[in-house]
A and B are shown apart, each in its own frame.
Chain A
Amino acid sequence: MTGMTEIQMFIIAILPIYVAAFILYTLRALRGPSISDMVLAIDAMSYDLAAFLVILAIYFKQPILIPVAIALALWIYSLDIYVSKYLEGKELGE
Chain B
Amino acid sequence: MTLLDTVLIVIGEIMIGVGALADLIAAIGMNRFPNFYLRLHAATIGTIWGSFLPLIGAALVAAGCKCLGEYRWFMSGGALVTSFVILILGPAGSHALARGTHRSGIVPVEPKVVDHLEEDESHPTSQELQEVEEGDSP
A and B together in one complex = yes
Residues of A within 8 A of B106 (CB): 34-36, 87
Contact with B along A43-69 (1 / 0, CB 8 A): 110011011001101100101001101
Known: A34-B106, A83-B97. A67 touches B85 (CB 8 A): no
Known: A50-B51, A73-B82. A84 touches B96 (CB 8 A): yes
Residues of B within 8 A of A25 (CB): 27, 30, 46
Q: How far is the CA of A26 from the CA of B106 in the complex (A)?
A: 22
Q: Is A27 an interface residue (CB 8 A)?
A: yes
Q: What secondary structure prevails in chain B residues at the interface with A? A: helix
B81 engages A70 (CB within 8 Å): yes
A20 engages B107 (CB within 8 Å): no
Q: Is A93 an interface residue (CB 8 A)?
A: no
**Most chain-A CB neighbours within 10 Å: which of B26, B90, B106?**
B90
How many interface residues does A have (CB within 8 Å)? 50
From B13-21, B112-120, B127-135, the one touching the partner chain is B13-21
Q: How far is the CA of A47 from the CA of B47 in the complex (A)?
A: 6
Residues of A within 8 A of B54 (CB): 51, 54-55
Q: How far is the CB of B3 from chain A (nearest CB, A)?
A: 16
Q: How far is the CA of A67 from the CA of B77 in the complex (A)?
A: 11
Name B residues whose Cβ lies closer than 8 Å to a Cβ of A.
Answer: 9, 13, 16-17, 19-21, 23-24, 26-28, 30-31, 36, 39-40, 42-43, 46-47, 50-51, 54-55, 58, 61-62, 65, 67-69, 71-72, 74-75, 78-79, 81-82, 85-86, 89-90, 92-94, 96-101, 103-104, 106-107
